[in-house]
Structure 1
Amino acid sequence: MDVQQSYWLRRPGVADFGPALTEALNLHKGYWTLTEERTQDIDGAVVLAPLAMACLAYDGKLPFGVESPFVPKCLLEHAWCGGFPT
């Protein structure tokens, strides 16, 4: 982890990350489920910017307690999504 990421994870207000992530996910869900056409659009399957921030928080051991299908847990944990033993 570089110095800039380290600062981000330790700065004041970091406790607000979980609620901010929840709000971003709710807004994303609201937009992408507004119509049947949007619900079927693959572009709304994963919310990229909040996913990136959640990955930084996860890697920095920042607990945020948010689970969502828009932020796949397997991506946060550096695992295969839908993987199977070989």
Structure 2
Amino acid sequence: MTGLGWFAAIIVGGIAGWLAEKFMNSNMGIIMNIVLGIVGAIVLNAILVAIVGGTLGGWIGQLIIGFIGACLLIWIARAVRGRHA
């Protein structure tokens, strides 16, 4: 995550994942919230850097990126599970 240390990334990732869980009406645990928030932020940051050439910085910027990225990951997981069920 841009400009954040590991401890801050875990906190911001957990908050972003929790917000995404509530927004997407999903039922996951705290560890999965943290993972989704961090991985979502990493994936969306990479996409933004590739397309736009930059990303949002700071705690708030990474919270927004993590939230959107986690929502995308939840949506993708639901789409994949739905096809194979």
Which TM-score applies when normalising by structure 2? 0.32
Higher RCO structure, 1 or 2 (CA under 8 Å, sep 6+): 2
Structure with larger Rg:
1
Between Structure 1 and Structure 2, the one with more helix by share is 2
